[in-house]
Structure 1
Amino acid sequence: MDQLDQLDQLLATATPLLARVDEALSGVGAPGGHDVWRELRRVRLLPGDAARAVAALHPAPMLDAVPELRADARAYADLADALPPAGGWSGEAAEAYEKARRGAAEHLNGGPDSLGHRMEATADLADALTSWMLRARADLAATLAEVMLSTEAITLLADDHPPADRAAAAAAIGARLLQAIADSYDDAEDLLAGATDLQSPLSV
């Protein structure tokens, strides 16, 4: 079973548990000072909604775009190389043409602001984000599998425990799920912040 199927199937099975976690946290709350409060501030979603947001990450379309982006980068490089030099020309017209040719070649496939470099940087970022999506889904699937087998899950799914015990159980499960999700999204922010080649406006 691949990670996509694993998370989707686990999430479907865990729907009643997640519903009880969200219901307890939004209705009863959690013990004061519990770690779940910090994780709720980081994610700003209840655990069930946060888990479904991760499950909505589908890396396949982004992965499919990478070869096309790299092909476009190569096409810009080939086009830059194909621009003919002035050859036997001389004089002001030849100098003006050569200046324009070099400028066009630089714009197509030169420094960090060139179209070719931007395409390669975009492909690199798409590759990195694809890997991140797969890791985020895998990490959530592993955490979800653990909490589904926990004593806290048994407490929440049973109807014979006092509200305080159920609130504590919901907080414990919620904290673990939200921490895994928040850590994954912190990794995504780092990836985007590191894509410095794509942060400046493209010159035209």
Structure 2
Amino acid sequence: MDRLDELLTAADPLLGRVDQVLSEIGAPGGHDVWRELRRVRLLPGDAARAVAGLRPTAILDAAPELRADARAYADLADALPLASGWTGEASEAYEKARRSAAEHLNGGPDSLGHRMAATADLADSLTAWMLRIRADLAAVLTEVMPSIEAIVLITGDQLPSDQAAAAAAIGSRLLRVVADGYDEAEDLLTGSAELQTPLLV
């Protein structure tokens, strides 16, 4: 359990109120929250819970295993015996097959070893991203929970327009950190597009 998990339990009533007000009353026209809602396509509470559902530990252990597999492919490629001591067409055919197998195992960007290493790099990057977005969201929750806007929403005895403005102010801050974080994740996945291309056997 990290800071976000701790805060989310305490913030749940506020997040529920933000979502309720935005759904039932709306937000002031032209407010930034409308742009952030279009970016995320979730209400602030739902977006916060989606981030809280990210579990870095689920992939944290994957990277070392993938790197070990990459080393194993490299070792296997190096261990393929040369066609020493024999000559002729059979020797040439074997050597051609040996080089092809070695290259497939660990010879370039499309080799199994390279793919494993690149996948491990992606796992490390995604783990760091999850930790970062969770920490960023926790920081925003720490700031908005004791805010005047939060008091307006929790007490619920203000004018609907005041409640809408308060919900929009909190919602836009929460949604912005989620939207920016998910843009970063999309960039990470776009940068690893080659991993989505099947290997030719």
TM-aligned CA deviation for residue 196 of structure 1: 4.3
1:60 aligned partner, one-letter code: T
Residue deviations 1:8-52 (CA, integer Å, cap 9, x gap):
110000011001000000111111111000000000000000000
Aligned pair 1:14/2:4, yes or no? no
Aligned CA RMSD, in angstroms, stands at 0.9
Distance of 2:74 and 2:149 partners within structure 1:
58
The question of 1:37 aligning with 2:19 is answered no
- Does structure 2 conserve the Cα–Cα contact (< 8 Å) formed by 1:112 and 1:197? no
The answer to whether structure 1 residue 153 and structure 2 residue 150 are counterparts is yes
Q: Which amino acid aligns with 2:78?
A: D
The number of equivalent residue pairs is 201
Partner of 1:142: 139
Partner of residue 105, structure 1: 102
Q: Is the 8 A contact 1:121 1:197 kept in 2?
A: no
Give unpaired runs (5+ residues) of structure 2: none
Question: Identity of aligned pairs, percent?
Answer: 75
Task: Tell me whether 1:117 sits opposite 2:119 in the alignment.
Answer: no
Which of 54, 57, 63 matches 2:54?
57
User: Counterpart of 1:159 in structure 2: which amino acid?
Assistant: G
The structural deviation recorded for 1:203 is: 1.6
Scaled by the length of structure 2, the TM-score of the pair is 0.98
Structure 1 residue 163, shift from structure 2 partner: 0.7
User: Structure 1 length normalisation: TM-score?
Assistant: 0.96
Give the distance between the partners of 1:39 and 1:138, measured in 2 at CA.
19
Runs of 4+ in 1 over 4 A off after TM superposition: none
Stretch of structure 1 that moved more, 187-196 or 130-139: 187-196
CA distance in 1, matches of 2:117, 2:17: 46
Counterpart selection for 1:88 from 77, 85, 88: 85
Is the partner of 1:202 in helix, strand or coil?
coil
Report the secondary structure of 2:35's partner residue. helix
Match of 1:132 in 2: 129
